[in-house]
């Protein structure tokens, strides 16, 4: 009788473990997880590195243009007619915000590159959170800036560039998040440090 009870208990534990394993398997991978980068055969790690370096170059270029734009609006502010001073002052403030955002963004991009090269998932996660926040702030800043513009070719170009910025950043977030999830999954599958040293 004791032997049968032990078998029933072990069978029940086995069934519970099987149910739990099935529940874990049933939990699908999160949505929007890519297996490759750029819709082709580039591995996520390489694609993430390429996009990170492109992001760094774009950030440096954007920083240079925001500094030049801020400087030019500050220089022309004293000679602007009185009826345009408020508009130029608003663009000066927006340009200053853009410049500060780019200055803040630069160390985060460097942190991302370190995280990607050294496989530090915490650095990548920190950059992902930062990128989501900075994307929302930049979109709001650009909407305000575009709403103050007069209808012209530059307004159409500004809308196009803003949409391009949104598409690029959303895709970049998806690629980086996919690589981050792979990094976390790989870290869970590693043996403990003591077993790796043996």
| pLDDT given for residue 101 in this prediction | 86
| pLDDT for res 26 | 46
Answer whether 0.85 is exceeded by the pTM: no
16 in any annotated domain:
no
The answer to whether residue 62 sits within a structural domain is yes
Residues of the chain whose pLDDT is less than 70? 1-30, 32-34, 36, 39, 190-198
Q: What is the pLDDT of residues 138-174, one digit of tens each?
A: 888 788 877 877 777 777 887 888 889 888 888 889 8
* 197 domain residue, yes or no: no
In angstroms, the CA 78 to CA 82 distance is: 9
Which residues, at least 6 apart from 183, have a Cβ–Cβ distance to it below 8 Å? Answer: 119, 121, 124
Residue 81, domain member (yes or no)? yes
Domain that includes residue 132, residue range: 45-185
Q: Does the CA dihedral 176-178-179-184 come out positive or negative?
A: positive
Number of domains in the chain: 1
| Structure confidence by residue, pLDDT tens digits, 24-40 | 554 555 676 667 677 67
> Are the C-beta atoms of 125 and 178 separated by less than 8 Å?
no
pLDDT of amino acid 57: 95
- Would 153 be classed as within a structural domain? yes
Residues 46/37, Cβ–Cβ less than 8 Å: yes
Does 3 reside within a domain?
no
Q: Identify whether 6 is part of a domain.
A: no
69 assigned to some structural domain: yes
């Amino acid at each position: 009788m004791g032997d049968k009870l032990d078998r029933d208990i072990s069978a029940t534990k086995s069934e519970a473990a099987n149910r739990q394993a099935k529940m874990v398997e049933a939990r699908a991978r999160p949505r929007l997880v890519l297996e490759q980068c750029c819709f082709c055969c580039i591995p996520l790690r390489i694609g993430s590195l390429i996009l990170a370096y492109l992001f760094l170059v774009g950030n440096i270029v954007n920083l240079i243009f925001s500094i030049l734009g801020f400087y030019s609006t500050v220089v022309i502010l004293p000679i602007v007619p009185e009826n345009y001073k408020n508009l130029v002052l608003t663009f000066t403030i927006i340009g200053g915000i853009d410049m500060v955002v780019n200055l803040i963004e630069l160390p985060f991009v460097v942190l991302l590159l370190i995280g990607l090269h050294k496989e530090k998932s915490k650095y990548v996660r920190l950059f992902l959170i930062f990128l989501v926040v900075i994307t929302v702030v930049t979109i709001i800043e650009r909407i305000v800036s575009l709403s103050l513009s007069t209808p012209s070719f530059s307004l159409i170009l500004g809308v196009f560039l803003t949409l391009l910025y949104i598409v690029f950043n959303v895709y970049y977030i998806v690629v980086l998040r996919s690589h981050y999830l792979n990094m976390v999954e790989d870290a869970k599958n590693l043996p403990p440090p003591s077993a790796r040293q043996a």
